[in-house]
């Protein structure tokens, strides 16, 4: 692929570390990857608004933001054309108001797992780091 034809695209997304009874909601994509709910920030939205909207769209759950959990950054190439995507994700620790998940069709499965099991199951290190931060925040909030 010729370098001059490749683009660099910056994307900003927001998502949630969604808790119910101290269990984390994770989603399985059809390709087997386990992730947390997240998606693009629409024009005019704050990261908080986008995170709540994406959680609702992907899981059918209403949630309440407890606090900001951090930010992850990563890069990947688009398989179709090789464009380089530089992605920033704003994460929020959230409490969901119920656990009856209605999955968006882009996902194959959803499950609530304890923190340690979620760490073992999540596919990407960036997601595991955010869950570790959320675990620490949760422990501090209990003291």
DSSP letter assigned to residue 4: G
* pLDDT recorded at residue 4: 57
As a whole number of angstroms, the distance between CA 43 and CA 139 comes to 35
* pLDDT recorded at residue 1: 45
Two tokens at 85?
Answer: 């995507």
As a whole number of angstroms, the distance between CA 115 and CA 24 comes to 6
Give 3-142's CATH code, choosing from 3.40.50.720, 3.40.630.30, 1.10.645.10, 3.90.79.10. Answer: 3.90.79.10
Give this prediction's pTM: 0.91
* pLDDT recorded at residue 91: 98
Per-residue pLDDT for the chain (143 aa), expressed as one digit of tens each?
455 567 899 999 999 999 999 899 999 999 999 999 999 999 999 999 999 999 999 999 999 999 999 999 999 998 888 899 999 999 999 999 899 999 999 999 999 999 999 999 999 999 999 999 999 998 888 76
As a whole number of angstroms, the distance between CA 134 and CA 24 comes to 10
As a whole number of angstroms, the distance between CA 117 and CA 55 comes to 21
């Amino acid at each position: 692929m010729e370098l001059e034809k490749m683009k660099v695209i910056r994307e900003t997304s927001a998502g949630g570390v969604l808790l119910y009874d101290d269990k984390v909601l994770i989603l399985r994509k059809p390709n087997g990857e386990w992730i947390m709910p997240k998606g693009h920030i629409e024009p005019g939205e704050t990261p908080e608004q986008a995170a709540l909207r994406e959680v609702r769209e992907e899981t059918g759950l209403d949630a309440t933001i407890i606090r900001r959990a951090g930010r992850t950054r990563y890069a990947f190439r688009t398989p179709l054309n090789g464009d380089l995507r530089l992605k920033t994700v704003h994460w929020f620790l959230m409490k969901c108001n119920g656990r009856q998940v209605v999955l968006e069709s882009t996902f194959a499965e959803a499950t609530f797992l304890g923190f340690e099991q979620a760490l073992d199951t999540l596919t990407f290190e960036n997601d595991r780091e955010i869950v570790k931060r959320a675990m620490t925040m949760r422990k501090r909030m209990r003291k």
